[in-house]
Structure 1
Amino acid sequence: MSSNLVKGTAILTVGLFLSKALGLLYLIPLYAIVGEENIPLYQYAYVPYNIALAIAISGAPLAISKYVSKYNELGDYATGRKLLKSGMLVMAITGLVSFFTLYLLAEPIAKLVHSSDDQTFSVDDIAGVIRWVSYALLAVPLMSIVRGFLQGYQKFEPTSVSQLVEQIVRIIVVLVGAFIVVNVLDGSPKTAVNFAVFAAFIGALAGLVVLFKYWKSYKPELDHLLANSPPASDVSFKEMYTEVFAYILPFVLVGVINPLYQFVDMITFNQAMSSIGFAEVTETYLGMLNLLTHKFVMIPVMVATGFSMALIPVITSYYVKKDPIGITRSLDQTFQIMLYLTVPMVIGIIILSDELYQTLYSKSTVGSEILASYAPVAILFGLYTVTAAILQGIDRHKWIIFTSLLGLFFKLVLNIPLIKMFETNGAILATSIGYTIAVGINLAIITKVLHYRSQMVFRRLILIGILNAIMFLVVTFTLKGLTAISPVDGKMQSILYIFICATVGAAIYGYLSLKTGLAQKLFGERLTRFTKKLGF
């Protein structure tokens, strides 16, 4: 794997991890401020917002990075700059259209969600919170094109830092605003939730400021490359955007597919649960599924997301140069490291689901059961993200569209009958089936097109599975021993047990990885030199 891919992955993954971690942790005080009964209103805003956001911008950074990387590899820096200048106007218009669309569709979406008068929230409540979050769409798209342009130059730090700053500012505004509304102004929790979702707009403005500062620092270097570049290729704006939009559609689907699965839950879950007699609790359970536990599940996925964002320009570069060895080496390393890091996190969430849910929210048998059932789906989320990124890098965009829509179709068809059979677990099962179909076909296409065969990767994945099985047994018995001595009673004890079990799990997994030489093989010479000093 190239050093650029390792460095880019590390930067993006660290930034994404911190962003996802903050996105999870801020729910603790927000949950305390507005209460469990009002938290579902928050997710009603963010599911349609994430869909609109993905349509507006998710394809742009990766598609633009792919386009810019392609022409940079040919020594043509002028064409990428030409795209940047015109793209700022295009993304501004896209953001404006997305804002008006979501704002005007707020009430129809709310009517889809509201299936029973026994539900906690009215149509007006749901429509109002969707309208408040829609303002963020005015600012966010402008960030996407700058991030994509810089990623095309293998500069990943601006994306990572701007995402982190955007998240920090948003969280501060969410918590301070919600606290003032409820505790100072004696406003209702519903009003606090409206203010909390509007904070996405303020966070986006902060992210724009960060990107502007990075642009100023990189501009001399980029101008030097531009000055020594031949004139821009004879590519018309029509040809340029035809190519870019051909990239964007599959990228949009990759970005929007997870929110679309959540949207299917949002418009079908209440109806299905009400039909089997759970109308009074359906919104609470939906909030647990689509917001409270979903935040946990997406933390392991950030490893795959970091890889996919760094992988696409690298794979594109190898593909343009017709370097199959470089592609194979990158794929080998990507699959191994992603699963090496993702699987133990998923196992940890499953084992510690009771303690994690109680620590962040409150003691809830239903909530912790949903978390434990949902956690393994993170592996499918990660594999989908990475395999789609590979198909994007080798210009197999039509297959991404086909597999994404096919998986979503199965989710839509199976969701209501499975929910009626298995309640909340039915929605999780329908999601698992949809993603399994998409990932399976993606892997088949990658294997066929790239003639990708790797016995070494297969053997390494078996070893990773064995190490995780050992870790699972050790951590499970550690937790059972702790609860046998003293059952969990309160958040502080939950935190202590999480810390002890996580430390034991990390120590066992790390020791076995070093002892077998797996970690050294995955992470390269620097780790090997360090571990030799430790006697491994």
Structure 2
Amino acid sequence: MGHHNVNTTLRGALVLSIAAFIAKVLSAVYRVPFQNLVGNTGFYVYQQVYPLYGIGMTFALSGLPVFISKLIADAPDRSSQQWVARQIYRWTWGLALVIFVGLQLGAPWLARGMGDPQLTPLIRMVAWMFLLMPDLSVNRGVHQGQFQMLPTARSQVVEQTVRVIVILTVAVLATQHGWSDYRMGAWAMSSGAIAAVAAWLVLPRWREPLAGPVTPVPHVGRRLLIEGGTLCLLTAMMVLLQLVDSFTVKNGLVAGGLSDLAAKNLKGVYDRAQPLVQLGLVVAVAFATSLLPALTAALNRGRLREFKRLTTTMMRIALVIAAAATAGLISLMPWVDRLLFGNAQGAWMLAVYMLSIILATLIQTYNSVLQSRDQYRLTVVALLSGLAVKAAANHWAVANFGGLGASALTVLSLGVTALIIWFGSAATLRSGIWTWPFVGKLLGCLVVMTVGVRGLVRWFQWAWPAVYTSRLAIGAALIVVIGIGGCLFLVMALSCRLLTVREWLTLPHAAPVLRFWQKISQHGGK
């Protein structure tokens, strides 16, 4: 790859990363006002079917475009790129039609499997977005393969913005006009197709006449199913776990003795974990994978020592940020639950679920390292193993332990996935990333932060009783506690040299913080 293409790729990766960050934040944040408007049961109705949309979104937004862009970038000339795009377009149209027809005809069966036949119209509504999948995935993939990242980035942000606007508008209308939860859910699910149309409208078309001889790429269909399917599977990890929950949590709660209505309500409470986990993942993975372009460039240039150093930095930063976010959310869960959703129902269940932030962050970050080396099989085996654990035991865990059992099974399945990936990868790739001094220092920082945060929470509850009843008071207290807790963690991390100076400097705006800390340390030593 030439110097110009390397620079173009790095700039393009930055543009796509920013767009993906904005899209994911939008996708996480809207669930809070949506749940406040429609309540636990309305949220349950939406979340039961959401994983089907989430799988389609990974096809069109990230999984297939990345695979297509690789094929396009490898094609020797413009005509060959167009030929590849046409072949993939035909295959994806066939796949989209199969999924569309399958969801339309199989919607009653899927709804009964979820324990709620009234979900049938919602599943059929989701199916329509798959008809836009071929155009979106191929257009995005072609532009990315030609190092034009802005069209994909623009379409990502437009798609999520339109979708959020439609969903929240539907929620407001449903509340004002007294719609049933299922009517509201069906209209909310229409947001997927409407947003896909909006994204399609802002994407430039890829079709051009073949202007010269073509060099065919062999086995396009097989590679699409195997390599493209693998990428989609990896990208949809958390959504697939949610899909298992859709078929097992509500049914398990009923089997455990709850009424149908109570089970729907508790499933809606359990689903509060999704936006919290998604935000934690977005922040941790965004910081860690900001180094991914440099990692790929080091590998392409044969700089293996630099590749290993960057891998170590990515994994350590990912763990530090994810662990701090997890510990903070668990420590503050009753307050966070009450602030965002109006009450502290299910706080323990949600607190356990937060542990998945650490595991999912490490899986996604380490998978990025493996993908840069074109290694996919291990992650697929690991992910399928984790899903098998979740699918096999989730109904039993929920029937016996309620929502807490579902949370624990999510964490367990991610733990299985992480262990298989870690111990199945080459020893040279993982050696030296975790050391006992590093782990010990991290645990020490987390303990100090957690003790400080819990102490502040108890003090606020004693000094300001309004935090028990007022969401405004909780919000004000949380700002103070989060600020102090974050400073405690940062001071401890700097004091014990949790990260090296080089590792600190990979984080945004770290240089002035390090200079300020150095001045304080020098002044304190005098």
Report the TM-score, using the length of structure 2 for normalisation.
Answer: 0.84
In 2, Cα distance between equivalents of 1:95 and 1:172: 26
- The residue type paired with residue 164 of structure 2 is I
Across the two proteins, how many residue pairs are aligned to each other?
507
Residue 511 to residue 11, structure 1, CA distance change in 2 (3 Å): farther
Shift of 1:162: 3.1
User: Could you give the per-residue CA deviations for residues 95-115 of structure 1, whole angstroms, max 9, x where no partner exists?
Assistant: 34322222222111011112x
Relative distance call for 1:374 and 1:159 in structure 2 (3 A) is: farther
3-state secondary structure, aligned to 1:238: coil
Q: Structure 1-normalised TM-score?
A: 0.82
SS in 2 for 1:273: helix
Distance (Å, rounded) in 2 between the aligned partners of 1:31 and 1:265:
18
Say which SS state the counterpart of residue 483 (structure 2) adopts: helix
Unaligned runs of 5+ in 2: 1-5, 519-526
Contact 1:84 1:145 in 2 (8 A): yes
Over 3 Å counting, the alpha-carbon distance change for 1:475 and 1:12 in structure 2 is farther
* Larger mean Cα displacement after TM superposition, 274-283 or 87-96: 87-96
SS in 1 for 2:425: helix
Q: Which amino acid aligns with 1:479?
A: V
1:336 to 1:532, Cα distance in 2 relative to 1, 3 A: closer
Matched, 1:338 2:318: yes
The one-letter code of the counterpart of 1:97 is V
1:170 aligns with 2:158: no
The structure 1 residue matched to 2:444, chosen from 452, 463, 466, is: 466
> What is the Cα deviation at residue 376 of structure 1?
0.8
Is 2:279 the partner of 1:275?
no
User: How many angstroms does 1:296 deviate by?
Assistant: 1.0
Counterparts of 1:351-366 in structure 2, within 5 Å, are: 351-366=331-346
2:159–2:195 CA contact under 8 A, matched in 1: yes
Instruction: Tell me the residue number matched to 1:101.
Output: 102
CA distance in 2 between partners of 1:451 and 1:25 (Å): 36
Whichever residue aligns with residue 512 of structure 2, its letter is F
Going from structure 1 to structure 2, the CA distance change for 1:286 and 1:102 (only over 3 Å counts) comes to same
Asked if the contact 1:312/1:392 (under 8 Å) is kept, the reply is no
Give the superposition deviation at 1:141.
Answer: 4.4
Mapped to 2, the partners of 1:260 and 1:48 lie a distance apart of 9
Do the aligned partners of 1:65 and 1:313 also contact (CA within 8 Å) in 2?
no
Which residue, 396, 406, 431 being the options, matches 1:453?
A: 431
The equivalent of 1:194 in structure 2 is: 186
Q: 1:499 to 1:27 in 2, by over 3 A?
A: same
CA offset digits 1:332-352 (Å, max 9, x no partner)? 221122223222222221122
How many angstroms does 1:277 deviate by? 1.0
Structure 1 segments unaligned to the other structure (5+ residues): 115-121, 220-226
What does the per-residue CA deviation read over 1:328-373, in whole Å, with 9 as the maximum and x for residues that have no partner? 133122112222322222222112211222222221332x222211
Match of 1:498 in 2: 478
CA distance, structure 2, for counterparts of residue 212 and residue 523 of structure 1: 40
Q: Which moved more, 1:13-22 or 1:385-394?
A: 13-22
1-structure distance, mates of 2:109, 2:385: 26
Deviation (angstroms), 1:54: 4.1
**What is the rounded CA distance, in whole Å, between the counterparts of 1:28 and 1:438 in structure 2?**
29
- Rounded to whole Å, the distance in 2 between the matches of 1:152 and 1:37 is 43
CA contact under 8 A between 1:13 and 1:302: conserved in structure 2? Answer: no
Partner of 1:207: 199
User: CA deviation digits over 1:304-331, x for unaligned, max 9?
Assistant: 6547977777666655655422431331
Change (3 A) 1:206 1:375: same
Cα contact 1:113–1:270 (8 A) shared by 2: yes
Structure-2 change in CA distance of 1:430 and 1:36 (3 Å): closer
Query: Structure 1, residues 493-517: CA drift from partner, whole Å, max 9, x if none?
Result: 1211221111112223334445566
Could you tell me which residue of structure 1 aligns to residue 125 of structure 2?
A: 132
How many angstroms apart in 2 are the aligned matches of 1:148 and 1:354? 43
Over 3 Å counting, the alpha-carbon distance change for 1:456 and 1:444 in structure 2 is closer
Moved more, 503-512 or 339-348: 503-512
- CA distance 1:380–1:8, change in 2 (3 Å): farther
Q: Contact 2:269–2:345 at 8 Å: present in 1 too?
A: no
2:41 counterpart of 1:37: yes
Map residues 480-499 of structure 1 onto 2, 5 A cutoff.
Answer: 480-487=458-465, 488=467, 489-499=469-479
With 83-92 and 262-271 compared, the bigger mean Cα shift is at 83-92
Contact kept, 8 Å, 1:147 with 1:158, in 2: the verdict is yes
Partner of 1:83: 84
Distance 1:529 1:395 in 2: 34
CA distance in 2, matches of 1:141, 1:505: 47
Matching residue of 1:257 = 237
Is the 2:256–2:398 Cα contact (8 Å) retained in structure 1? no
Among 506, 521, 524, which residue is 2:502 paired with? 521
Tell me the residue number matched to 2:265. 284
| 1:514–1:520 CA contact under 8 A, matched in 2 | no
For the residues of structure 1 that align with 2:14 and 2:184, how far apart are their CA atoms? 36
